[in-house]
Structure 1
Amino acid sequence: MNLRINGRHRAGAPLRADRHHRARTAGTVLGLLALAALPFTATAARAAPAVGPLTVRPAAVGAPADDTCDVLAPGASAAAESAVRAACQQIGVWYSWGGGHGPAPGPTYGQVDPTDPASNDDPSRLGFDCSGLVRYAYARAAGQDLLNGDAGQQFHTVHADQRFTAAQGSGPLLPGDLLVYGTSDNLHHIAVYLGAGKVVEARQSGTRVMVSDARLDGDYYGAVRINTGPVTGPTFQTWGEGVWTHSRASTTSPRVYAFSGSTTVRVSCQEHAESVTAEGVTNDAWSYLPDYNAWLSNIYVQGPAWLDNVPSCT
């Protein structure tokens, strides 16, 4: 299953690292702005001063806000419109690799991305990377830290209302939807849709938060609409690093997505299938994760071998 548990690798290569637009793993969503584990294994981001439960925007950096950064189409929820406006308030703030992933939502100083020379000044730039900006925008809109994670975790969040494929184009999109880019095992960039074919995004080192044309070709993967209300269905925590989900309840079926760390997942049902042995444990129970359209061995779900209050799949 290409599993990395407690620093030990099993068969297969480790997860690929994201590049310029990469958002770092932020650990488990702890809800209501509890302190979260910092998403970096090297050095922790230095957070900006905070006032109240959420970090406030720093003084404007660079050009004034672009007047086109606003809700540009009707139909979005009040929370989604609020998230758009929160992101738009950050126009002109630096992109900073790893920025926005401190203990609470808000701009932080970044880190050097060893794959990108343009990031050399990011440790002195107070700002956001792509997922840090999304985290901040929805925390301001919802009053709680809903999307504390990287681009992949934000797309697969248990707070999803709807998801859209690249093939659906811009037709179903509304302001506040989150557009993601990459592949199923490496979603490396995320942006906030404004409507009218525009997004607001923290794009890459050396630039500032900006309004851009929505790029719906190339490596555009799809979009997710966020529901800031209560999560429906039972949720659990995964454990381990580099734990792969599969298209069927079998380790020989195609891989779908790998959890780089402990992640909150929603489980709709479970079934007995292929027996798996890992870390000295054997279990034949598998959980179906509707937010990933994938299966995960119950070995890597915190709880009993057969999860409580989860029905059998039919």
Structure 2
Amino acid sequence: MFRRSRLAGTLAGLAALLLWAPPPAASATATAAATAAETCAVRAPGASAAAERAVAAACEQVAAGVWYTWGGGHGPQPGPTYGQVDPTDPASEHDPERLGFDCSGLVRYAYARATGSDILNGVAAGQFYTHRAAERFTAAQGLAPLVPGDLLVWGTSQKVHHIALYLGAGKMVEARQSGTKLMVSDVRLGGDYFGAVRVNTGPVTGHVFQTWGTGVWTKAEPSVRAARVYAFPGPTTIRVQCQKHAEKVTSDGYTNDAWSYLPDYKAWMTNIYIKGPAWLDTVPTCTF
């Protein structure tokens, strides 16, 4: 009995040894979890097919290990370009040697790939205030109303300085800063997070015009003394909701008392700097 029991015990021990496998190393488990957390992809439902294609285009560049480079992506056609030295950032010294994107260059490229047209050619502020806005969201609304492909921005009404594409589930893809590659990040709410915009990739509705001049400010009210909202860095495509006669303005050899309301900026602009007649054809009179 003793020998048979001892033999059985030995065989059972050998079987247990053969069947036992060591648990995965903690570092390997952590690495796999981190990789899953940083996967660049659409992470929530609700986006349009075009927005999903924009996310996919940006994520392809992440997978390719493309660099952030200051000024990158703003060539004649959408796509990576060599950057420039940012005078305010010592980390950008190698950007002229790096083929890549800055934040708005990546957004431009993503939506150009998604639509087959260069619909967001411009800097971060111009992309946020685009006349192609389908819907806008304030910082106070947080992430709840957003869907993948929405554009997130940071800054103030007078200066938007960063833009990224939302992936869903609190994640975004961005070209963040010199010395780094394109990346997936947690959305940074708080601080100077300013809001988001959903891009309309279809036909543009409303009364669309072009501005002229540089450094032309929009105003909180139709008056030169009103608070500044945003300055157009150069000629810009805008959407005009309505116009009205208000304070008379003399500038650049012209005098006009007509002001237009720009819904994308929630601001007013003197008609002097809008290409067209002094009183814009087809645009209705504001009732407010």
Q: Give the TM-score of the pair, scaled to structure 2.
A: 0.86
Confirm or deny that 1:187 pairs with 2:160.
yes
Q: Which moved more, 1:128-137 or 1:229-238?
A: 229-238
Would the aligned equivalents of 2:139 and 2:195 in 1 still touch at CA under 8 Å? yes
Two-structure CA RMSD over aligned residues (Å): 1.3
Match of 1:130 in 2: 103
Q: Distance in 1 between matches of 2:284 and 2:257?
A: 16
Would the aligned equivalents of 2:219 and 2:268 in 1 still touch at CA under 8 Å? yes
Would the aligned equivalents of 1:65 and 1:89 in 2 still touch at CA under 8 Å? no
Confirm or deny that 1:284 pairs with 2:284.
no
Task: Give how far 1:65 is off.
Answer: 11
**For 1:114, what is the secondary structure of its paired residue?**
coil
**For 2:284, what is the secondary structure of its paired residue?**
coil
Q: Distance in 1 between matches of 2:162 and 2:273?
A: 27
What are the ranges of 5 or more consecutive residues in structure 1 without an aligned counterpart? 1-63
Q: Distance in 2 between matches of 1:201 and 1:307?
A: 39
Q: Distance in 1 between matches of 2:193 and 2:47?
A: 22
Specify which structure has the higher proportion of helix. 2
Match of 2:40 in 1: 69
Greater RCO (CA < 8 Å, at least 6 residues apart): 1
CA deviation string 1:156-200 (max 9, x = no partner): 001110110000011101100010001111100000000010000
Q: Distance in 2 between matches of 1:302 and 1:121?
A: 41
Percent identity, aligned pairs only? 73
**For 1:80, what is the secondary structure of its paired residue?**
helix
Confirm or deny that 1:175 pairs with 2:148.
yes
Change (3 A) 1:76 1:133: same
Match of 1:85 in 2: 56
Q: Distance in 2 between matches of 1:118 and 1:183?
A: 24
Match of 1:44 in 2: none
**For 1:81, what is the secondary structure of its paired residue?**
helix
Confirm or deny that 1:95 pairs with 2:68.
yes
What are the ranges of 5 or more consecutive residues in structure 2 without an aligned counterpart? 1-34
Change (3 A) 1:67 1:212: closer
Would the aligned equivalents of 1:71 and 1:194 in 2 still touch at CA under 8 Å? yes
Q: Give the TM-score of the pair, scaled to structure 1.
A: 0.79
Q: Larger Rg: 1 or 2?
A: 2
Moved beyond 4 Å, runs of 4+: 64-67
Would the aligned equivalents of 1:65 and 1:88 in 2 still touch at CA under 8 Å? no
**For 2:61, what is the secondary structure of its paired residue?**
coil
